[in-house]
Chain A
Amino acid sequence: MSVVLRQSPVPDPAVPGAGTGPSAAPGRDVLLEAVDIKKYFPIYGGVLSRVVGHVYAVDGVSFSVQRGETFGLVGESGCGKTTLGMTILGLTPATFGKVYFEGRDIFKMPAGEMRRLRGEMQVIFQDPYGSLDPRMTVGEIVGEPLSAHGAASGARRVERVKELLSVVGLQPMHANRYPHEFSGGQRQRIGIARALALNPKLIICDEPVSALDVSIQSQILNLLDELQDQFKLTYVFIAHGLHVIKHVSDRIGVMYLGKLVEVAPSEELFRAPLHPYTEALLSAIPVPDPDAKRQGRVILEGDVPSPAKPPSGCRFHTRCVLATDRCRTEEPVLRQTGAERSVACHLRG
């Protein structure tokens, strides 16, 4: 029996339809699909260092990203956005859930295949200082993915590194310098060049501009936009404020305490937010005109509850002005309200 099995042709997972994810509906070209991702970090305590609880960093998040679009993920610090990003990339193992990349379940992939796939899904980090090895030259940093995948070596690697540096707006001669010789914005360009090295299909941008000056932020955002057109990239763009994400995203997912509370196309979300938390985030966007009268601002009271002890029912009820008894006991599910919209709230939608 086993002999027969071994000789029979193994279905190639790269062929469309062979191992596609659950929601691969016709007409939608889904590149990435996350299904019910959960990531719990154990808390150790007591004399015997036993697990006394968990931090529910990401607690059941599902979304899909279409080829060529930018999916924005927004939420306060500590809501699990970065953890979600790292989990999708397989850099921290998920507690539960599945991630399909081009229809292939990446958590079930053998290590070698996963390593090869890393070239197709890349990441740009928040911290342009910590993410570049201070003891490597820029050329070595940008060229590292190339050597790791055997994509180019020797003179071809040098050429490719120079090309990548020009693409992100740096000089080819910068390859011989060290990261500390560059400004924050330039360092972020180096990080982008590294992410582009292997011609990825998907780039997870983990707050790529939040460590930069405002004047530099727009330069980097414009660069990311140009690169998306030039290389047909798909972005998952993580940010903690809506003002950054507004112009770059096609669709936006709003996260609160490890859960998605609202998903909507960018324009619709800004025109008519459904979830009370989204409203609060929108009214927190700074207005550059000091004389502007702002009406109907939603100012949140209190702090985000601890993700180790999430509130019962709707996780937002402790800070929501509209909260009812039902919100305190029954947890709302993310349900579809329009063609592209969904919201997790008992009262809206």
Chain B
Amino acid sequence: MSARLTRTLRKSRNARLGLGIVVVLLVIALTSPWLATHDPRTQVIQDRLKAPSAQYWLGTDTFGRDVFSRLVWGTRISFLLGFFSTGISSIIGTAMGIVSGYYGGWVDTIVMRVVDTLMSFPTILLAMAIVAILGPDLQNIVIAIALTFSPRFARVIRSVALSVREQGYVLAARASGVRHGSIMWKHVLPNVVSSAIVLLTMQIGTAITMEASLSFLGLGGDPAIPTWGGVINDGRGFLQQAPWISGFAGIAITVTVIGFNLLGDAIRDVLDPRFSKQL
């Protein structure tokens, strides 16, 4: 596997780019207290809507807050949010998918109809509805994203579990009298986990976009907390006078999504070589 990892990294420029972007952003997220030049919450009223300069690298917003520092802190929040929400949704979705695919029959029918119901809503509407019910704060955004994303995991993992179920070793385990739970844990899960990791990486970018969308729509909770979507929202009214506010935040989101998607492709090539040839 490590041989395939090095080969993928050597051969594919996109794989190196994706890994590079994610590593750099991860470093920014981990070192934001030292990297930020200003306090992201401090309002300096006389420095409102200042263009990028030596003092304010990416300019200031309408309250005189430093956009660079807000974006640096926002990286940390976006990453935490992306990892937590996709992590939770991958656990829920993988469990649903394994149970559904392994048992089949009426269990499969029930689980998949629930999944169909959740997926028939436009994702952003469903997330908005959940946040609106639970109340706008970051924790509830994580819950909303986790709930709206888990059906996607359930779908993909179910299809993989369906094929794993037909493998001879599953039949052999049943013939040995191994319990269903144990078969799912020891045989099905290890054989679907690589697909789950690939999907997880791809979904982190989407989750970050989703958080930005919710924050932009004003469902992000405390406006003082710097999130990327919140910064875009802050600059919304000043797109002509101060395009740097929304602009740089938008660039941050775009680069992050591209980074995670490229990394996801690379991980797929390493873990799941079956798919790379088809696509």
Interface residues of A (CB under 8 A from B): 86, 89, 91, 115-119, 122-123, 125, 127, 129-136, 141, 144-145, 148-149, 191, 194, 197-198
Contacts and interface: CB of A to CB of B under 8 A. Distances in A.
Secondary structure call for the B interface: helix
A131 B169 contact: yes
Nearest to A204: B175
A198 B178 CA distance: 12
Contact of A91 (B174, B182, B187, B190): B174
A136 B179 CA distance: 17
Contact of B173 (A116, A135, A144): A144
Nearest to B193: A135
Contacts of B178: 144-145, 148
B43 interface: no
Interface residues of B, number: 17
Nearest to B175: A123
Contact of A148 (B168, B169, B177, B190): B177
Nearest to B171: A91
Nearest to A140: B186
B177 A133 contact: no
12 contacts: A116-B177, A122-B175, A122-B176, A123-B175, A131-B169, A133-B186, A141-B169, A144-B176, A148-B178, A191-B172, A194-B176, A198-B176
B180 to A, nearest CB: 10
Given A130-B167, A130-B168, A131-B168, A118 B175 contact: yes
Given A130-B167, A133-B187, A135-B190, A125 B177 contact: no
Interface in B157-197: 167-169, 171-179, 182, 186-187, 190-191
A148 B190 CA distance: 18
A135 B191 contact: yes
Contacts, number: 65
A130 B175 contact: no
Contact of A115 (B168, B171, B172, B179): B179
Contacts of A118: 175-177
A83 B168 CA distance: 14
Interface of B: 167-169, 171-179, 182, 186-187, 190-191
Contacts of B171: 86, 91, 125, 131
A48 B169 CA distance: 34
B105 to A, nearest CB: 12
Secondary structure call for the A interface: loop
A83 to B, nearest CB: 13
B163 to A, nearest CB: 11
B169 A145 contact: no
A125 B169 CA distance: 9
B278 to A, nearest CB: 21
B177 A91 contact: no
Nearest 4 A/B pairs, CB to CB: A118-B177, A131-B168, A130-B168, A145-B176
A44 to B, nearest CB: 14
A197 to B, nearest CB: 8
Given A115-B179, A148-B182, A132 B174 contact: no
A131 B187 CA distance: 12
Nearest to A92: B171
A255 B191 CA distance: 37
Given A135-B190, A135-B191, A130 B177 contact: no
A165 to B, nearest CB: 17
Q: Residue among A125, A132, A148 with the most chain B CB within 10 A?
A: A148
Contact of B169 (A86, A89, A117, A130): A130
Contacts of B168: 125, 127, 129-132
Contacts of B186: 133, 136, 144
A191 B172 CA distance: 9
B175 A149 contact: no
A249 B109 CA distance: 45
A115 B182 CA distance: 13
A145 B186 CA distance: 13
A191 B176 CA distance: 11
Contacts of A89: 175
A296 B146 CA distance: 73
A145 B172 CA distance: 10
A194 B169 CA distance: 11
Q: Residue among B174, B175, B186, B190 with the most chain A CB within 10 A?
A: B175
Q: Residue among A123, A134, A135, A191 with the most chain B CB within 10 A?
A: A135
A92 B152 CA distance: 31
Contacts of B167: 130, 133
Nearest to B178: A148
B97 to A, nearest CB: 18
Nearest to A117: B177
A115 B177 contact: yes
A86 B190 CA distance: 26
Nearest to A127: B168
Given A135-B190, A145-B178, 18 more contacts: A91-B175, A115-B179, A118-B177, A119-B176, A119-B177, A123-B175, A125-B172, A127-B168, A130-B167, A131-B169, A133-B167, A133-B173, A133-B190, A135-B191, A144-B186, A145-B177, A148-B176, A198-B176
